[in-house]
Amino acid sequence: MIYLTLYEAEYYERREGKDVQCLLCPRKCIIKSEDLSDCKARKNIDGKLYALGYNRFTSVHADPIEKKPVYHFKPGTNSMSFGAAGCNLHCAHCQNWSISQISAESNNLITVTPQNAMDIIRKNNCDTIAYTYNEPLINFEWIKDTGKLAHQNGYANILVSNGLINAKPLQELLPIIDAANIDIKAFTEDFYKDVTGFPGLKHIKKNVVTMLQEGIHIELTMLLIPTLNDSPEEIEAFANWVKETLNSKVPIHFSRFYPHYKMQHLPPTPVETVLNAKKIAEKVGLRYVYTGNLPYSEINTTTCQNCGSTLVERVNYTVKIIELGIDGNCRKCGEPSDFHL
């Protein structure tokens, strides 16, 4: 392959001979000279590690922010969404496997520089930029450069991610990211090991705590897969962790699984299981629990915690702001809402 421009990766060290070790995420891959990384976004060329995904994208769309899903941050606005190639996990059920499991060396990728991204956001009248579709953190360098430029231009940055990154690079992203939806794939390390290919849950939990403590607006998604992560006990353990370690106002999205990629042998999640997960989490005390991917028009409403008025109503991706005031308070009773506008 002929590379037009190569961007040297950050967070790696030289090892024996021309081997390098990537220190961007907890996988800490040792990559031999001329080899592609496990996440397929980085490559060792003659003893230097390059970020192949820099400026190279598979998908660029203006999406409703609710599609991320992010419900409590700038509701009803559009987010300019960029997806690249590769991932540091290899989930057997990946819905986006056609981009997440391919190499950033693939032909036909779309070139988008950080400056191009600003022009695209402006043309599409978006308020935010979302790093999404594949795992964005493996393109750390592009997020860092584009995110800084986005802030200078008045746009907010949204990360839609599996949350698997090492502490040092995360520290650099904290001032850049404004909101994040982190995918909690299950609440057991065994699931992570067996289904995603890496036991990353402990790192991800720690990263979510750090992001929340640093003032990033956090929402969490959990895709419920029959028999693998949908037991009432596991859902209750997850909800208890959110309540006790994060807080009860963090919005949670339980989503329905459909067979994809290498996981064709399991049926779609029964609707009842998803609705029951919502009940369990609400019983634990979580305030904002939503459902996703259900096979009918979904209504996800947010009500005022004080007077019960409807603040925001969502029917699929159509959003109606009802009693949510522009000051972020309930227009009926003045109670502060848990929205970032």
Q: How far is the CB of 40 from ligand SF4 (least distance, A)?
A: 8
C-alpha to C-alpha distance for 292 and 300, rounded to whole angstroms: 9
Task: Find, among 254, 287, 285, the residue nearest to 270 by Cα.
Answer: 254
Q: How far is the CB of 221 from ligand SF4 (least distance, A)?
A: 21
- Verify binding: residue 91, ligand SF4, rule CB under 6 A: no
Rounded Cα distance, 289 and 276, in Å: 11
Site pattern 39..68 for ligand SF4 (x: CB under 6 A): x--x--------------------------
**3-state SS, residue 162:** coil
Among 6, 8, 14, 28, binds ligand SF4 (CB under 6 A): 28
Q: Which residue from 3, 6, 24, 183 is in contact with ligand SF4, where contact means CB under 6 A? A: 24
Contacts 24+ apart (CB under 8 A), 146-150: 146/114, 146/117, 147/173, 147/176, 147/177, 148/176, 149/114, 149/115, 149/117, 149/118, 150/117, 150/118, 150/121
Smallest distance, Å, CB 251 to ligand SF4? 28
Contact of 73 with 178, CB cutoff 8 Å = yes
Query: What is the H or E stretch that residue 311 is in?
Result: strand 310-315
Pick the binder of ligand SF4 from 52, 112, 138, 170 (CB under 6 A): 138
User: Among residues 177 and 224, whose Cβ is nearest to ligand SF4?
Assistant: 177
Residue listed under structure tokens 């990559």 = 31
Would you say 131 or 339 has its CB closer to ligand SF4? Answer: 131
State which of residues 29, 99, 216, 330 lies at the interface with ligand SF4 (CB under 6 A). Answer: 29
Q: Which residues bind ligand SF4 (CB under 6 A)?
A: 22, 24-25, 27-29, 37-39, 42, 88, 138
